[in-house]
Chains A and B, each alone.
Chain A
Amino acid sequence: MITWLLEPLSHDFMVRALLVSALVGGVCGLLSCYMTLKGWALMGDAVSHAVLPGVVLAYALGLPFSLGAFVFGVGSVTAIGFVKQKSRVKEDTVIGLVFTGFFALGLVLVSKTRSNIDLTHILFGNVLGISQADIQQTLLISALVVAVLLLLRRDLLLFCFDPTHARSIGINTGVLHYVLLSVLSLAAVAGLQSVGIILVVAMLVTPGATAYLLTDRFDRMTLLAITSSVLASLLGVIISYWSDSSTAGCIVLVQTGLFLLAFLFAPRHGIFRQHPEIGP
């Protein structure tokens, strides 16, 4: 068991991969609490896919790719909001068509720009081969996301819980909406490093859902989400090392496994709970 855990650490690339994925896991885990409580899973999926053209363009222009991702992430949500408001098409339909449109644009751009981007790395993550520059960017993004989420912790919680009350006491909910979306776009870029665009939504939803089944307190929920997410990231990387399989797949599978455990055995909200709630 000890060797199983320690041997991977003898490789530099593994140490880097473990650190980066743990960091990304923690950041996405914290954010996932707000995503699940706000009911933004679909939005997370949309934003994470829509960042692709931004990432490709930023690479091609030599800009930090978080910048491109940010612009296209927020842009996609603005587009969703605009189309929804100006047409009779329902919101989930609009989300579905806008994010696939952005994603398709990204695919075309990848094939048309002369750059050394490896599409599979963006789609499925490449945490084992992460570069020094990407690590720095991930650190910066993570620090920014965590700072915003901690500073606005209570406001965002209120915004998710009861936006009307937030508004009536003079909190600008419009700004909070876009702050949360911006943070989501940034976290999607961070998550992209470890599990890639396709699976990043799992990082943004699953830990929050797992924690939600385990507690009725928000503070504990954030701690549990971060813990389960970091644990899943570390275990996932190590399992992928020993089984020589997709790192992204392993991380998300462990996360799903943790969710299933909570789903079955959570003390109060699991299906095998010991004390069924008395209620109607």
Chain B
Amino acid sequence: MRIEADQVCVDYNGRVALYDASLHLPAGSICGLVGMNGAGKSTLFKALTGFVRPSRGRIRINGQRVAQAQREQAVAYVPQSESIDCGFPVSVWDVVMMGRYGAMNLLRIPRQSDRIAVRDALERVDLLELRHRPIGSLSGGQRKRAFLARAIAQRASVLLLDEPFNGVDVRTEKLMAELFLQLRRDGRTILISTHDLSHVRDFCDLVVLINKTVLAYGETSEVFTPENLALTFGGMPPNLLTGPSSAEEPEP
């Protein structure tokens, strides 16, 4: 198993964010993580990246503790572009190179192999021409691809993506979907947090439904039922959720 979480609880100063969350995800899979805002999606990500320590329970990545997995560069996190300061004075190349830091010596001086990994990753997301541009000058979709390139350059076996399809152009969406399939073929495990349900049906093999705990997980065809979704979204009528326009549709 790539990711094993057993009865994981996380609380922030007594406020419970996640309780009894268990899930096992195999290598070479694309998994959708579905839940409302505040359901614990980012908390689960934080626990998997080692940003928060579970108060109870056990997490293993490639059979190892999170700290060890971090040292082996096993987990890559692709942030929401809104959470990144776009005025930051770094180029696209610099950002992708940050994916190699963990593999470098303490002074973080890039070797030839690091440059090759960065170049290769930029090529795969089709940003090689823009590599000298400041990260802030890219469009939302290009920026997202830059952070995906960073995860690819890191050669992580687990990729955590936070709302990757939020506000991206069609081209980026297509390119990312193709990349996910390639990465799955390489045996990577991709966990995608999203509240756009149509994406889940389109290309997630597995799905994890979450609302303060893992309600259900497994093959998309089995788990992605109207009943389960109603549970996930707190009893809203499932036809609202499973239709082509998602729950995000603004109120009239």
Consensus secondary structure, chain B interface? mixed
Measured between beta carbons, the chain B residues less than 8 angstroms from A221 are 89
Q: Which of A162, A166, A212, A277 is the one whose CB lies under 8 Å from B89?
A: A212
Decide if A167 is an interface residue (CB 8 Å cutoff). yes
Contact A169 B70, beta carbon cutoff 8 Å: yes
Interface bin, chain A: 20 to 34
What's the A-B contact tally at a CB cutoff of 8 Å?
Answer: 81
Tell me the nearest residue of chain B to A216, going by C-beta: B134
Measured between beta carbons, the chain A residues less than 8 angstroms from B70 are 167-170
The residue in A37, A151, A165, A277 that gathers the most chain B C-beta atoms within 10 A of its C-beta is: A165
Identify the stretch in A49-57, A152-160, A237-245 within 8 Å (CB) of chain B at 4 or more residues. Answer: A152-160
Measured between beta carbons, the chain A residues less than 8 angstroms from B91 are 216-217
Contact A168 B49, beta carbon cutoff 8 Å: yes
Decide if B154 is an interface residue (CB 8 Å cutoff). yes
Decide if A171 is an interface residue (CB 8 Å cutoff). yes
Decide if B98 is an interface residue (CB 8 Å cutoff). yes
Q: Which of B90, B101, B107, B137 is the one whose CB lies under 8 Å from A218?
A: B90
Contact A169 B154, beta carbon cutoff 8 Å: yes
Q: How far is the CB of A157 from chain B (nearest CB, A)?
A: 7
Tell me the nearest residue of chain A to B88, going by C-beta: A161
Q: How far is the CA of A216 from the CA of B51 in the complex (A)?
A: 29
Q: Which of A157, A168, A212 is the one whose CB lies under 8 Å from B76?
A: A168
Measured between beta carbons, the chain A residues less than 8 angstroms from B134 are 216-217
Contact B150 A165, beta carbon cutoff 8 Å: yes
Decide if B56 is an interface residue (CB 8 Å cutoff). no
Contact B89 A164, beta carbon cutoff 8 Å: no
Contact B101 A171, beta carbon cutoff 8 Å: yes
Instruction: Give per-residue flags for A248-280: 1 if the beta carbon is below 8 A from chain B beta carbons, else 0.
Output: 000000000000000000000000000001000
Decide if B136 is an interface residue (CB 8 Å cutoff). yes
Known: A169-B70, A170-B70, A170-B73. A218 touches B94 (CB 8 A): yes
9 closest A-B pairs by CB? A169-B102, A170-B70, A216-B134, A168-B49, A154-B108, A170-B71, A168-B77, A218-B89, A216-B89
